[in-house]
Amino acid sequence: MNLLAFNLPLVVLLPFVGAAFAAWASRLNRLGAAYTSGLVTLLSLALLMPSVPLPFHDQTLIQTWDWVPDLGLYFSFRLDGLALLFALLILVIGLLVIFYARYYLSAKDCMGRFFAYLLMFMGSMLGIVLSENVIQLVIFWELTSITSFLLISYWQHRKEARQGARMALAITGAGGLALLGGMILLGEMVGSYQLTHILAAGDLIRAHDWYLPALILILLGVFTKSAQFPFHFWLPHAMAAPTPVSAYLHSATMVKAGIFILARFFPALSGTIEWTLLVGGAGLITLLIGAYTALFKHDLKGLLAYSTISHLGLITLLFGFGTQLAAVAAIFHIINHATFKASLFMVAGIVDHETGTRDMRRLGGLIHYMPHTATLAMVAAAAMAGVPLLNGFLSKEMLFDQAVIASSISHWALLLPVLVTIAGLLSVAYSVRFIMDTFFGQPKSDLLHTPHEPPRFMKIPVDILVVVCLAVGILPALTVSPILETAVAGTLQAEVPDFSLAIWHGFNAPLMMSIAALIGGVALFLKRDTLFQLYQRHEHVDAKRYFQASLQGILNLAQTVTQRFDKGSLQHASAWVIAVSLAAGIVGFAGFNGSLLGETPVQSVDTLTVIVGLLGALAALMTAIWHRKRFVSLVVIGVVGLVIAIGFVKFSAPDLALTQLSVEVVTIVLLLLALYFLPQASPKEINRVRLWRDALLAGVSGIGATLLTLSVLTRDFDSISTYFLENSVPGGGGTNVVNVILVDFRGFDTLGEIVVLALAGLGIYSLLQGMTLPAPKNDLRGRLWNPDKHPLILQTLTRLLLPLMLMVAVFVFLRGHNLPGGGFIAGLIASVALIVQYLANGIDWTRTRLQIDMHWAIGLGLLIAIATGLVMMAMGYPFLTSAFRHMHWPVVGEFELASAIAFDLGVFLVVVGATVLSLVQLGRLSHSSHAGSTWKS
Amino acid sequence: MLDTVLQIALAAVALAMLLSAWRLIAGPSKPDRILALDTLYINTIALLILLGLWLDSALYFEAALLIAVMGFVGTVALSKYLLRGDIME
């Protein structure tokens, strides 16, 4: 098979699979996780390799599978120049970060968790850049928000890590929602959610009425993710993450995702005045604010964080210009920023690692202790400052050039070259500060331990990145030119404009601006003390406080609204539900003037039905009257359940009758288990108004329901049941329509339901785990409990009954496909069979004999159910299609074997597991309080 | 002949159900009510089997079988509650 037919999804999904392996490997060996992650990344890279030449030959590789074609949703991947550039950045820098993290993380940190998160994040990023379907792109976008949340909060014991992660998640998550909206608008405008169509429909999109809303929504996503003003404040707080995470997220990946969207949709969205104002404006403001704030940060990572914001602003500004050459510069700066910023973050991590602090006021003179690291830092910082012969210089020159060109548009635009020069000047100043305050000046003596060079291998990733900075800076045409050209071709989806990566363009305006920025920046650094004093004097906006205040405000609002309707009382809640449905019914039937009864003749009633019906009504009435005596009402409500079951039999719904009967038994056991710890009598309702209100609601809604039922049942109506009745045998191979619907026609619903059931069972189990409640020592009248824990007659008889009950369960299970029964009912019967052993013989006795862990039953059931579906998928049918074949077995005779029976087995196991697990866990609540002899009280 | 027998039997069962209901409501003690519920379950078995014979249908049989196998569990749980409070120890 041709690898080029399916390698892209593998590249994306491999890290997700690898994450599980990494987590597992860390159990065997502390460093196993790191090596596994490195291997997985290399493997992804290797899988990508065969398709690398395609974009260089102007080919776009697209691999598509159907997902939900009706909704325009395809499982679809795309590799063009832009995607290739980003994929390579993500994988290569990811590899370096993994290498670095292996040395960075201390013995106390859980390696498996870290590398598993990192790999999942890597996969999500790859998914964004390689997606062809924009909805799929948003899905991976959301995954990056979630996985970056996990990474930022990796040190969960630190408050600032948790808060920073929450903030990042809230901001980027909200942006993701906006992005989804924008993508849907785009897709609806173009009529397709495939990038190929969207990118080709730029003129249509720009002329469309929805252009502006779509643009704003997409930009909201971009600006939140890429930390553009006014959403930039989450990024510095995300610095609470371990440094390898910062190096990865804030150089090549997370924040570049927003930039990637700008580049990706550049042909579709750019070139309008709205684009220029919004994108360029946000970029310019972010560029300046970031650079200005970075200068005053004392924390190395804080400085780098704001510098990242500033450089992201720079890239955004370049895209905002909207010209092709500006896009070239933007793409170029993406590469350059990724290399120098990743290396600087790693240097900051090394300094932190070796000195125990990142505060520049406490650092100094480190060049004496770690000359190698210092040299690397100097080169990388020089690249960040835009010093000639380094990569940062080239892209900064291009920015200055673009600013000069753009300044000719209007008078106001004349400010542009000035503002970008100021930004350049500030970036020189903070780069100089980063180096001078850390590596030069007097060594400080109050450090935790004497600094020294880190392990040799920890510096290798930095070495590599810095060499790239130099190589690109000195020989751009030989190194970066081909990939840049390819990436630009992918971005513009058009001919690449002529651009020159030469270092020397002669004495022109950009060079003057560069020189001004360099000299001004150094001068600014020398005057920094005065500047710091000035900065200290004025008030600073603490975005975190505003963020938390507004978050609290939203929560309070939500709580106020909720409390209006939900006072934590069942009475209140059900009164609302009933009142609203009553109102809806009254409004709905306000204009109804047909007759109450339809044409279908009313059947005659026999005496027996009347008697049984009256019995049910009487029991229901007595339940209400005796509701304060909880035990007695429980006995009486048993009659209501019984009568309903008889009703189901009478009106030809045997499946329902069987279900009702088994549920009835389980319910009594459940309620009694709970009642043991609850008051035996309900308090008397003294509020007269509420009493009358409830009586009125109950009466009117009861009458309403009766009238509704009467009018529906006396009319002929077409329901979907005809379809199921006709197709049950030919389509599902079973004559029991109810069961065929459950396991075949609506198998997917059933799968969802058993998942919910499994979750509920596990949830009850874990919520009650380790909880013990004081058990009452005597009954309602103050009599002591009977000392006979397990009456002998009961024990003996129930043990005899166990195989009989299980046999009934098996019988009901096997015949379920054709006659009343099935996995659900059989599961309930088996549960009751087991529960009764717990009742009669006690938990300990039963547990030593029934050594099945119900967790396994639940898990196995789900696995079987899903596997059935997957097997059918593998055979080319839709998920959960049922196959069946009639076989002739000796002795048994004609027997029909349907794949649905395997699915039904899954249902059976989940029902048994969840029911027994939760009931026994409830029973165990008082288990330890029986340990002593409670009888002696 | 069979029809007559069935009719008489059904009437008897219906009467039995009404009497059980009377015991359920009149009580006076909790064991009385539990027993009444249990008897109602037994009555239902009889009712369903008789109806199955009367209407010549096997569908009623499963429900009766299920009550026969599981109906007592509710009674056991309720009685155990009166006896010990804690039904699962």
Closest CA to A817 of A904, A753, A721: A904
Q: Which residue has the tokens 């009497």?
A: B19
**How many CB atoms sit inside 10 A of residue A212's CB?**
12
Helix residue ranges per DSSP H, A191-265: 195-200, 202-207, 211-225, 234-237, 243-249, 254-264
Plot region of A386 (φ>0 → left; ψ -120 to 50 → alpha; else → beta): left
State the angle between helix axes of A254-264 and A134-152 in degrees (0 to 180), rounded to the nearest 10.
Answer: 160
The beta-carbon neighbor of A779 closest among B18, B59, B85 is B85
**How many beta-carbon contacts under 8 Å exist across A and B?**
156
Chain A partners within 8 Å of B66 (Cβ): 658, 661-662, 808, 829
Cα gap A868→A874, rounded to integer Å: 10
Chain A partners within 8 Å of B74 (Cβ): 638, 664-665, 668-669
Stated length of chain B: 89
Cα gap A772→A677, rounded to integer Å: 11
Helix residue ranges per DSSP H, A49-158: 53-56, 81-104, 111-130, 134-152
Question: Cα A761–A762–A766 angle (5° rounding)?
Answer: 120
State the angle between helix axes of A324-355 and A391-406 in degrees (0 to 180), rounded to the nearest 10.
Answer: 140
Neighbouring residues of B22: CB distance < 8 A, sequence distance ≥ 6: none
Q: Which of residues 857-916 of A touch B (CB under 8 A)?
A: none
Cα gap B71→B74, rounded to integer Å: 6
A770 HSE (CA, 13 A, CB side): 2
Find which of B62, B75, B83 to mutate to test the A interface (most A CBs within 10 Å of its CB): B62
Q: Is A639 on the interface with B (CB under 8 A)?
A: yes
The beta-carbon neighbor of B18 closest among A611, A639, A775 is A611
Phi, psi of A206 (to 5 degrees): -65, -25
Cα gap A898→A886, rounded to integer Å: 8
- Quote the distance between the C-alpha of residue A242 and its chain's center: 21
Q: Do the Cβ atoms of B62 and A821 come within 8 Å? A: yes
The answer to whether the CB of A626 falls within 8 A of the CB of A633 is yes
The residues with which A889 forms a beta bridge, in sequence order, are A893
CA distance A246 to chain B (A): 54
Q: Which of residues 831-850 of A touch B (CB under 8 A)?
A: 832, 835-836, 838-840, 842-843
Closest CA to A12 of A58, A75, A57: A75
Dihedral sign from CA coordinates of A434, A435, A441, A447: positive
Q: What is the pLDDT at residue A542?
A: 74
Neighbouring residues of A31: CB distance < 8 A, sequence distance ≥ 6: A102, A111
The answer to whether the CB of A221 falls within 8 A of the CB of A257 is no
Burial class (CB in 10 A: 0-12, 13-18, 19+), A218: buried
Helix residue ranges per DSSP H, A281-390: 281-295, 300-321, 324-355, 371-385
Chain B partners within 8 Å of A786 (Cβ): 83-84
What confidence tens digit (pLDDT) does each residue in A488-539 have? 998 888 888 888 777 777 778 888 888 888 999 888 888 888 888 888 777 6
User: Which tokens in the block code for residue A399?
Assistant: 């920015």
Query: Distance between terminal CA atoms of chain A?
Result: 78
Q: What is the pLDDT at residue A608?
A: 86
Phi, psi of A77 (to 5 degrees): -125, 155
Q: Is A43 on the interface with B (CB under 8 A)?
A: no
Closest CA to A274 of A332, A217, A336: A217
**How many CB atoms sit inside 10 A of residue A285's CB?**
18
Tell me how far CA of residue A703 lies from CA of A102, A235, A709, A714, in angstroms.
Answer: 71, 60, 10, 17
Q: What is the pLDDT at residue A931?
A: 44
DSSP 8-state assignment for residue A507 = S
What confidence tens digit (pLDDT) does each residue in A355-368 have? 888 888 888 888 88
Stated length of chain A: 937
Residues of chain A with pLDDT under 70: 1, 445-449, 539, 731-733, 780, 817, 878, 880-898, 927-937
A62-A65-A69-A73 Cα dihedral, nearest 10 degrees: -60
Neighbouring residues of A76: CB distance < 8 A, sequence distance ≥ 6: A62, A63, A64, A65, A131, A132, A133, A136, A194
Residue of B nearest to A668 (CA): B74
Q: Is A794 on the interface with B (CB under 8 A)?
A: yes
Q: What is the pLDDT at residue A182?
A: 95
The beta-carbon neighbor of A639 closest among B14, B40, B82 is B40
**How many CB atoms sit inside 10 A of residue A120's CB?**
23
HEC-encoded secondary structure of A636-679:
HHHHHHHHHHHHHHHCCCHHHHHHHHHHHHHHHHHHHHHHCCCC
The beta-carbon neighbor of B59 closest among A646, A654, A662 is A654
- Quote the distance between the C-alpha of residue A203 and its chain's center: 35
Q: What is the pLDDT at residue A447?
A: 67
Secondary structure (DSSP) of A384-439: HHT-TTSHHHHHHHHHHHHHHHHTTS-TGGGHHHHHHHHHHHHHHHHHHHHHHHHH
Q: What is the pLDDT at residue A890?
A: 67
Side chain identity at residue A151, one-letter code: L
Q: Do the Cβ atoms of A676 and B85 come within 8 Å? A: yes
Q: What is the pLDDT at residue A413?
A: 78
Residue of B nearest to A843 (CA): B89
DSSP 8-state assignment for residue A231 = S
Q: Do the Cβ atoms of A619 and B21 come within 8 Å? A: yes
Q: Do the Cβ atoms of A618 and B89 come within 8 Å? A: no
Phi, psi of A886 (to 5 degrees): -90, 130
Bond into A774 cis (ω within 30) = no
User: Which tokens in the block code for residue A175?
Assistant: 């942006």
The answer to whether the CB of A95 falls within 8 A of the CB of A42 is yes
The answer to whether the CB of A903 falls within 8 A of the CB of A865 is yes
3-state secondary structure of A77: strand
Domains and CATH numbers, chain B: 2-84 (1.10.287)
Q: Is A652 on the interface with B (CB under 8 A)?
A: yes
The answer to whether the CB of A430 falls within 8 A of the CB of A338 is no
Chain B residues contacting A via beta carbons under 8 Å: 10, 14, 17-18, 21, 24-25, 30, 33-34, 36-37, 40-41, 44, 47-48, 51, 59-60, 62-63, 65-67, 69-71, 73-74, 76-78, 80-89
Which uninterrupted H or E stretch holds A79? strand A73-79
Cα gap A366→A451, rounded to integer Å: 8
Q: What is the pLDDT at residue A829?
A: 93
Closest CA to A845 of A890, A794, A888: A794
The beta-carbon neighbor of B88 closest among A619, A668, A839 is A839
Q: Which residue has the tokens 């009669």?
A: A840
Residue of A nearest to B77 (CA): A669
Q: What is the pLDDT at residue A411?
A: 76
Q: Which residue has the tokens 């639940």?
A: A858
What confidence tens digit (pLDDT) does each residue in A848-897 have? 888 888 889 999 999 998 888 888 777 777 676 666 666 666 666 666 66
Q: Do the Cβ atoms of B78 and A785 come within 8 Å? A: no
Chain A partners within 8 Å of B16 (Cβ): none
Which uninterrupted H or E stretch holds A894? strand A893-898
What mean pLDDT is reported for chain A?
A: 87
